[in-house]
Structure 1
């Protein structure tokens, strides 16, 4: 069974919610990044989204854009991101998703990325700018692996469209909590509650909420609405506030523990 699916089943049996965390591979540099990732996966994360640095991350806000730029300046590539996944898999059984944009995957080669990701122990792919209707070639390349593709559901997505997306996705649905780019603006909790309920009514998949979640209090408020939360900009900002601080792994662990505590008290 795919690790993502198994994780949601295990959490549901324990009446717990999933904490999914995004971090950009190679930020602020490859070795420090690995130490940060190691701290993250041992501090309460249930699923890791390992971001592939990209020069034009249009769906992301300034925090993640800057994280990508730091990683690219430090020499991070898709190949090195896969190597980092291999190192993580050697130490942890946490589900690992590659999170990124289609262009780097296409340039790398879809068959090649499918084989390399499978060999690295990757469990899922989330390609921000790839809608289900255009994912056929990637899905074909992934045949014979147990790698799942996760798709996004926007706040404006209608129920009939949600059904179509759910039929194509694996693992869980990523429900975007608000329009715009990651990490910006506040949250309309009532609107999120209504949309999450509408999505859960038409899809059997676990639903996770992402965009705009900053702390344990946000996590506690959102947890009852879905099966998990996804935190990206808040984690990347831990690095962005002090990229060369020697205690970045400890700072990351503290942030994740705060989010985990918020989820668990909901």
Structure 2
């Protein structure tokens, strides 16, 4: 069994997101270990980018801090290699097509395999254009995770039929960020996906509280949280690890508690 098959094997998955290199690469490394021990089923690592179009102000600011601190894609690969010596939690890179294109598709995906990255999420890569990177993902055994949103319309079923690993369901319109209210669009998307595939669905964008996580986990296979954690990292800086670990433990309990 590969690491991605483990993510949804033991019930509902909790998937935290952090920006790699915020506040520094050493803290990111400690966060990955801490979140894994706290029950995270998959960890999303954002590769900082100067124009993260899908992100709200919290994660945009985290990208800016990481880039100002000198983090590079190569330093992130090196960090994952170190993590893999003692930790086997599945890891997905969340990035944009421009940094991957600039790095070189073949070189980037080869490094993903060599470092121990399991999946790739690219919010600004249209489904219809995935063909330019998919051959390299297959060559190196990296899963390309598709995204669907309330605006995907009739394409939802088409995207779902081709999906591997899991489907990232964007809960609502707009960019990432904490929301007080999350509508019913996500549940409707999951119901449509269920009719054409049994590939797991994870809900992201806007979830921050245990109550929201529990509600999403009632109909989805996993819950993704980013901005609420990144805000904690911003607040506490290098001292953020125990705060984030406690939050992850609480959220994992919330998604598991629906049983």
TM-score scaled by length of structure 1: 0.92
138-147 vs 119-128, which moves further: 138-147
Q: Is the 8 A contact 2:144 2:164 kept in 1?
A: yes
- Which of 238, 241, 247 is equivalent to 1:249? 241
Written as runs of structure 1 = structure 2, the 5 A alignment for 1:218-229 is 218-229=212-223
Listed one character per residue, the Cα deviations across residues 60-100 of structure 1 (whole Å, up to 9, x for unaligned) are 00111111111111111111111111112112111111111
Written as runs of structure 1 = structure 2, the 5 A alignment for 1:107-256 is 107-158=102-153, 160-244=154-238, 246=239, 248-256=240-248
Distance 1:4 1:109, change over 3 A: same
The corresponding residue for 1:103 is 98
SS state of the match for residue 229, structure 1? strand
Mind listing any 5+ residue stretches in structure 2 that lack a counterpart? none
| Residue 261 (structure 1) shift | 1.4
| Residue 184 (structure 1) shift | 4.3
Q: Is the 8 A contact 2:172 2:205 kept in 1?
A: yes
Listed one character per residue, the Cα deviations across residues 122-156 of structure 1 (whole Å, up to 9, x for unaligned) are 11000111122112121112233221000110113
Q: Is the 8 A contact 1:59 1:181 kept in 2?
A: yes
The corresponding residue for 2:83 is 88
Q: Is the 8 A contact 1:20 1:229 kept in 2?
A: yes
Mind listing any 5+ residue stretches in structure 1 that lack a counterpart? none
Looking at structure 1, the residues matched to 148 and 83 of structure 2 have their Cα atoms a distance apart, in angstroms, of 29
Moved beyond 4 Å, runs of 4+: none
Aligned residues: 258
SS state of the match for residue 242, structure 1? helix
Listed one character per residue, the Cα deviations across residues 165-186 of structure 1 (whole Å, up to 9, x for unaligned) are 1233310000000000001433
| Residue 189 (structure 1) shift | 4.1
TM-score scaled by length of structure 2: 0.94
Query: Does 2:44 match 1:40?
Result: no
118-127 vs 37-46, which moves further: 37-46
Q: Is the 8 A contact 2:203 2:224 kept in 1?
A: yes
